[in-house]
């Protein structure tokens, strides 16, 4: 793996742990973080060789407390649009990554941090984690897909309220809203995310990849999610893994997946 400026990357048992590593700034997303994430997801990670990715924040206080406010003060409209597009692009790569990506939310997940967590497929957090889209306090709106993904995850009314008030919600509320998949003890976020990935890794990898594609198709303009599901189903039904899964069931044994 490359040398990164603002993230650390460790691989253990085919699970890659990505830590946003700017604890002095509550892991705010600056240019370095974006460059690192782009290189990691576009160039360095090989989805065929891993079972999942966990994204978390360094320290005990924050997952990511937003985009780095100190960096975006001097932006003009054109530059802001370019940066928003860059953020949209890398978050879309994460959202469509063909192995499961889990956000281990270990504290504040605000603004761009909440948006990063939402770009992941699944989220685990502790009860006192804090989620929010406080951009209106700064005179802007979520710029990395938050107006869309928050609606997808918690519904229009709740999303409108969170974005227009800028209020934070705690992990328990986020869990009730469907923003958090699993609540865990503070400090157990990465371990909980690891267990979740290990569970998913026991399933057929191509079926997981096609699931990510088909579910995401529902939210993409110009995509017919039902048709995507039909195409994915056809593709999977012709795989060796489907034959193996069905045979293993009949023979009352565990399947051995090949990813073929
Ligand atoms: N950016 C930069 N530094 C930050 C930061 C942030 N988002 N959040 C915290 N820090 C820094 C603080 O400045 C402080 O640094 P020092 O003063 O020690 O040098 C250090 O982290 C510790 O923070 P606090 O001292 O404030 O810690 P507290 O426990 O008192 O408060 C807090 C924690 C999370 C409530 C507070 O830090 C806070 O309100 N932070 C800001 C939250 C926020 O508003 N985040 C930004 C949301 S808006 C864009 C696209 C998207 C966006 C922007 C542009 N373009 C395409 C251009 C997205 C914007 C957002 O994310």
Other Cβ atoms closer than 10 A to 175: 19
Q: Is 135 an annotated catalytic residue?
A: yes
Share of the chain above pLDDT 70, in %: 100
Beta carbons of 5 and 38 less than 8 angstroms apart = no
Query: HSE of 4 in the Cβ direction (CA atoms, 13 Å)?
Result: 24
Gap from CA of 62 to ligand 1 centroid (Å): 10
pLDDT at position 2 over 90? no
Q: Which residues line ligand 1 (CB under 6 A)?
A: 25-26, 28, 65-70, 72, 75, 80, 83-84, 87, 108, 110-112, 134-135, 138, 143-144
Q: From atom 36 of ligand 1, which residue's Cα is the shortest distance away? A: 65
More confident residue, 41 or 222: 41
Q: What's the pLDDT score for residue 1?
A: 63
CA-based nearest residue to 135, from 160, 166, 170:
166
- Which mutation among 65, 80, 132 tests ligand 1's pocket best, with the greatest number of atoms within 8 A of CB? 65
DSSP annotation of 51 reads S
- pLDDT tens-digit series, residues 79-134: 989 999 999 999 999 999 999 999 999 999 999 999 999 999 999 999 999 999 99
Gap from CA of 194 to ligand 1 centroid (Å): 28
Gap from CA of 134 to ligand 1 centroid (Å): 10
Q: Percent helix, strand and coil across the chain, each rounded to 5?
A: 50, 20, 35
Which two structure tokens, joined as six digits, stand for 59?
């320290």
The ligand 1 atom nearest the CA atom of 85: 56
Q: From atom 53 of ligand 1, which residue's Cα is the shortest distance away? A: 67
Helix/strand/coil for 227? helix
Q: How confident is the model at residue 220 (pLDDT cuts 50, 70, 90)?
A: confident
Q: What's the pLDDT score for residue 73?
A: 81
Helix/strand/coil for 15? strand
- pLDDT tens-digit series, residues 123-170: 999 999 999 999 999 999 999 999 999 999 999 999 999 999 999 999
Instruction: Kindly compute the dihedral angle of the four CA atoms of residues 73, 78, 81, 83, in this order, to the nearest 10 degrees.
Output: -60
- pLDDT tens-digit series, residues 226-255: 999 999 999 999 999 999 999 999 999 999
Burial string for 118-140 (b: 16+ CB within 10 Å, else e) reads bbbbbbbbbeebbbbbbbeeeee
C-alpha span between 176 and 165 (Å, rounded) = 19
Q: From atom 3 of ligand 1, which residue's Cα is the shortest distance away? A: 25
Q: From atom 32 of ligand 1, which residue's Cα is the shortest distance away? A: 65
Q: What is the mean pLDDT of the chain?
A: 96
To 10 degrees, what angle do helices 146-154 and 112-119 make? 60
Q: What's the pLDDT score for residue 222?
A: 86
Angle made by CA atoms 237, 219, 79, in degrees to the nearest 5:
130
Q: From atom 60 of ligand 1, which residue's Cα is the shortest distance away? A: 111
Gap from CA of 61 to ligand 1 centroid (Å): 12
Gap from CA of 10 to ligand 1 centroid (Å): 26
The active-site residue, picked from 95, 135, 189, 210, is 135
C-alpha span between 227 and 213 (Å, rounded) = 11
CA-based nearest residue to 228, from 213, 238, 241:
213
């Amino acid at each position: 793996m490359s040398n990164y400026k603002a993230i650390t990357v460790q691989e253990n048992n085919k699970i890659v742990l990505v830590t946003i590593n700017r604890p002095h700034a509550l892991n705010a997303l600056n240019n370095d973080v974006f460059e690192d994430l782009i290189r990691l997801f576009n160039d360095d990670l090989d989805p065929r060789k891993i079972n999942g990715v966990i994204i978390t924040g360094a320290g005990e206080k924050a997952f990511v407390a937003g985009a780095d406010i100190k960096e975006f003060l001097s932006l003009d409209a054109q530059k802001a649009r370019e940066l928003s597009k860059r953020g949209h692009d890398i978050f879309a790569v994460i959202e469509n990554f063909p192995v499961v990506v889990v956000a281990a939310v270990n504290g504040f997940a605000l603004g761009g941090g909440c948006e990063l967590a939402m770009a992941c497929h699944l989220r685990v957090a502790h009860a006192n984690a804090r989620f929010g889209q406080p951009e209106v306090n700064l005179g802007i709106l979520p710029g990395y897909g938050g107006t869309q993904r928050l609606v997808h995850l918690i519904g229009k009314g709740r999303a409108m309220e969170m974005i227009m008030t800028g209020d934070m919600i705690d992990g328990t509320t986020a869990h009730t809203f469907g923003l958090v998949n699993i609540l865990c003890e503070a400090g157990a976020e990465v371990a909980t995310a690891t267990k979740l990935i290990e569970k998913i890794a026991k399933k057929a990898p191509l079926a997981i990849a096609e699931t990510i594609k088909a579910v995401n198709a529902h939210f993409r303009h110009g995509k017919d999610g039902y048709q995507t599901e039909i195409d994915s189903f056809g593709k999977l039904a012709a795989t060796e893994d489907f034959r193996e899964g069905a045979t293993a069931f009949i023979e009352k044994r565990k399947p051995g997946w090949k990813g073929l």
